[in-house]
Amino acid sequence: GAVVSQHPSRVICKSGTSVKIECRSLDFQATTMFWYRQFPKQSLMLMATSNEGSKATYEQGVEKDKFLINHASLTLSTLTVTSAHPEDSSFYICSAAGLAVRETQYFGPGTRLLVL
């Protein structure tokens, strides 16, 4: 149980385009979803927290207009990287938490974004 999926697993895009990443909790309802970013050989850094039906809370230094988060249902959150630039190239990982899993955060497999 407690499976979280992400799609796509890898994406390559041109600079200036937008990319959408989906995060789904497959077997539990995620009241809260989190988006993290991981640069090579570094640890995960929290970008934002989203609760179903409400606006996401962004960490300091993360541009909310650049990283659009939508948590439309209890099983789906999306992260859209708008007008992507090469410096946005990174590994994006989501996690989901819910009452059914006693608030433990379960992570998706990650999405590797490469902006050319």
CA angle 27-29-30, nearest 5°?
115
The CA distance from 73 to 93, in Å, is: 18
Q: Are the beta carbons of 28 and 2 closer than 8 angstroms?
A: yes
Question: Is 23 a residue that touches other proteins (CB under 8 A)?
Answer: no
Shortest approach of other proteins to residue 52 CB, angstroms?
A: 12
- What is the b/e burial string over 48-62, where b = at least 16 CB atoms within 10 angstroms of the residue's CB? bbbebeeebebeeeb
Question: Is 25 a residue that touches other proteins (CB under 8 A)?
Answer: no
- Among 29, 80, 82, 105, the residue binding other proteins under the rule CB under 8 A is 105
Question: Is 92 a residue that touches other proteins (CB under 8 A)?
Answer: no
Residues forming the site for other proteins (CB under 8 A): 2, 4, 6, 31-32, 34, 36, 42-46, 49, 51, 59, 91, 93, 95, 97-98, 102-110, 112
